[in-house]
Structure 1
Amino acid sequence: MPDNRKRPLDKLDISILRTLQKDGRISYVDLADKVGLSSTPCIERVRRLEKEGYIEGYHARLNPELLGYNMLVFVEISLSYQSPDSFKKFSEAVETLPYILECHLVSGDSDYLIKARIRGISEYRALLGDMLLTLPGVKNSKSYIVMEELKESLSLPLDQNAIQP
């Protein structure tokens, strides 16, 4: 749980975040060397950044194609009615679906935008017909099957001027 008592990020904090964002497996010794600190202060800064919620976790990035998930699909979902209760029910139901990587409440013509990885057209049919369209309150959907992935990144643009205290 993030700590609400955050102090402003300085150049060293940003350098640490930028380095960890590129290589979350870097050793503390190498990280300290890269950002110009000794190991102990570097470790203390990383722990503070974790405690304050700037660093949410460390993950292995898996290759979806090698694992058979070679189809990426985005689905817009519109609900029959918009209320806190309908949003809550939909959100709880989406949490149980294994293929969904991301789900966002959005503005515009639809209510939600879903990103899913699936193995092929039969899983797409199951995802759409057997799962998404049966969720609470779903009125309709619009799908986009990705033909080519041009860019996908989890990296945030870290710039001292862009960081708000």
Structure 2
Amino acid sequence: MENELHRLDRYDRRILEILQEDAGISNQALAERVGLSPSPCLRRVRALENAGIILQRVALLDRRRLGLELTALIHIGMDRHTPERFAHFEETVATYPEVQRCYLITGQAADYMLQVVVPDMDAYQEFLLRRITRLEGVDSVHSSFVLRRVLDRTALPLDYSPG
């Protein structure tokens, strides 16, 4: 089940904590750190993948070393709120490699918020004018630029308890 809550024991939680730190760790090293032998550890990792808890394993890259100096947050308002309009926007934006994240949001004057990375302001202007503003249904665009990353984590909290 997609929304079914998967019960995690201490081994599962430890596996997930370690994989969030280093997705490229070998099964042998993971098993040693978790305190399991390699076969049961691998079975647990595969079970977490099959349950949809581990979606994929990725390498995090340094944006600046790749020449991607500018991060923009773009709030986009749509002219009509129809499923077809939203679907077309989402499908198109998903093809743009500059877009790292796209959220359908509420509580703002915008319908979507995009996080975009580009080399510089010229590249951003090109992206904005040749792609975003030409998308059917885009009614308003407001951009903000990241001055400094205060916190930029990918790890999810595994022992969340409010309060």
Aligned-partner Cα distance in 2 for 1:64–1:90: 26
Q: Label 1:105 to 1:3 Cα distance change in 2 as closer, same or farther (>3 A).
A: closer
Aligned to 2:124: 124
Aligned pairs for 1:1-165 (under 5 A) are: 7-108=6-107, 109-159=109-159, 162=161
Amino acid at match of 1:45: R
Question: In structure 1, the residue corresponding to 2:131 is in which secondary structure?
Answer: helix
Distance 1:16 1:138, change over 3 A: same
SS at match of 2:123: helix
Task: Please identify runs of 4+ aligned residues in structure 1 that moved more than 3 A.
Answer: 2-7
Tell me how far apart the structure 2 counterparts of residues 64 and 89 of structure 1 sit (CA, whole Å).
29
Q: How far off its partner does 1:10 sit?
A: 1.1
Q: What 5-or-longer segments of structure 2 have no aligned partner?
A: none
Q: CA deviation at 1:4?
A: 7.7
Q: Matches of 1:53 and 1:92 in 2, distance apart?
A: 23
Q: Is the 8 A contact 1:19 1:31 kept in 2?
A: yes
Cα separation, partners in 2 of 1:7 and 1:112, compared to 1, 3 Å: closer
In the comparison of the two structures, how many residue pairs are matched? 160
Percentage of pairs with the same residue: 34
Deviations 1:32-61 (A, max 9, x none): 111111111111101111111111111111
CA–CA distance in structure 2, aligned partners of residues 95 and 119 of structure 1: 19
After superposition, the C-alpha distances for 1:61-110 in whole angstroms (9 at most, x for unaligned) are 11111111010000000001111111011111112222111111000211
CA distance in 2, matches of 1:87, 1:42: 42
Could you say what the CA RMSD is over the residues aligned between the two structures, in angstroms? 1.7
TM-score, structure 2 length as denominator?
Answer: 0.92
